Amino acid sequence: MGVRTDRQPHVTMIRIERIELREIILPLADRFSTSAGAVDERRILLLEFHDADGSREWSECVAETLPTYAPDTVDTCWLAISKWIAPIVIGESFDSPDLVDAALAKRIRGHRMARAAVEMGLWALFARKSGVSLAAALNDKTRSPAPDRKPRSKVESGVAFGIQSSPELLADRCRAAADEGYRRIRIKIAPGADVMYVRAANDALESRIPLAVDGNCAYSLDNAHHVSALEALDSFGLSMIEQPLGHDDLMQHATLQRCISTPICLDESITGVERVAEMIALESARIVNLKPGRVGGFRQSLAIHDACAESSLPLWCGGMLETGIGRAYNVALASLPHFTLPGDLSPSARYWAQDIVKQPWTMDADGTVEVPLDRNGTGVEVNEELVDELTVRRLTLGQR
């Protein structure tokens, strides 16, 4: 099937016969540390969708082992998909991927990462069967006055560094990343591993590229030491301070944003388009980090994208240490017009000694990643032999 280049409506029906769940364990190239802890490997939940006509597509659930970032975990998502979500979609016919999230939302509250893994996979399958890239399928559903607008062919790549063992090591890694061409560096911080580390990174970069920090909810305005550190960080001219306060907070972030000039970026607090509206009303932050798995999938992501565009609110696509499968979904989303800041779209080799796609993601010398607009669906080919070797748990749902 060739790739369609037009943007005219094309009726495609998807009818899932079965979903195969896989849990794999994939070692990281380097330990990744945040305020919530450190990981050397990831338990990863993969889904393979089988359509009634024989079409297949893969997706990835971004949930972690422990509920430190979100309530969802690999185990809760496995349960939610197998017991509640898969029965809703298997055997049902959908003529638009928009309808999948609506069907799930009517019957399931929460479980956003589990719902996203299924909903986003059906978006990719819909794109594959329609003969278009996933980026083009998403682009068709955004609100825009320009009917000939197309997704970008390249997206800007940023890199995230976990908490390092010393400020000097962080400075060295920042210099190396700038030399490699990354468009933005984001460093994880925590109380006691913040001001000295940021000063070292800032001095090393010499304003060559934007520097951001991510607090992962580790700070509190009730702690004088935390407040002092946040005030000190405000003096470095950072591009953003991401989610320093509570994971579901909007009010305290609004208080902090009034006191500092550095833009606050919200991540964990943004679980849907309604939270964006509340954030704007309260002036809690000036930037949004959008992770499709966190908000329940692409339908909500598109609504957030359009709301940010209408409010001229800067937006970027965050990452969850995805494999090459999950990276394909983020790259497709980041190709939409209002993703105005570099996202967490690093090459496969940055995080994995060996990725599970046959052509690992790479970054060009100019710090960009190519969007596979000339390939149907996700645009990646899964190394199924490697996935088989890494699989520690497997379940088939639906007809064999």
56-101, pLDDT tens digit by residue?
999 999 999 999 999 999 999 999 999 999 999 999 999 999 899 9
Q: Is 223 helix (H, G, I), strand (E, B) or coil?
A: coil
Q: Could you report how far apart the first and last alpha carbons of the chain are, in Å?
A: 25
Q: What domains lie within the chain, and their CATH numbers?
A: 14-131+381-398 (3.30.390.10), 154-370 (3.20.20.120)
Residue 188 is among the residues annotated as catalytic for this protein: yes
H-assigned helices in 131-166: 134-139
Residues 6+ apart with CB under 8 A from 390: 24, 25, 26, 356
The residue among 274, 29, 65, 11 whose CA lies nearest residue 161 is: 29
Model's pTM, two decimal places? 0.93
What phi, psi does 308 have (nearest 5°)?
-65, -40
pLDDT in tens, 208-267: 999 999 999 999 999 999 999 999 999 999 999 999 999 999 999 999 999 999 999 999
Q: What is the pLDDT of residue 22?
A: 98
Tokens of 45: 């939940």
Q: What is the pLDDT of residue 291?
A: 97
Q: Averaging pLDDT over each range in 148-152, 266-270, 342-346, which range is the top one?
A: 266-270
Of 106, 150, 291, 358, the catalytic one is 291
Of 83, 106, 150, 188, the catalytic one is 188
Q: What is the pLDDT of residue 12?
A: 80
pLDDT in tens, 126-138: 999 999 999 999 9
Range list of β-strands (E), the chain = 14-34, 37-51, 56-61, 93-94, 154-156, 158-161, 184-188, 211-214, 240-242, 264-266, 287-290, 315-317, 368-370, 391-398
Banded model confidence at residue 184, pLDDT cuts 50, 70, 90: very high
- Per the prediction, the chain carries an average pLDDT of 93
What phi, psi does 288 have (nearest 5°)?
-120, 130
* SS3 of 107-153: HCCCCHHHHHHHHHHHHHHHHHHHCCEHHHHHHCCCCCCCCCCCCCC
Alpha carbons 186 and 167: distance in angstroms, whole number = 14
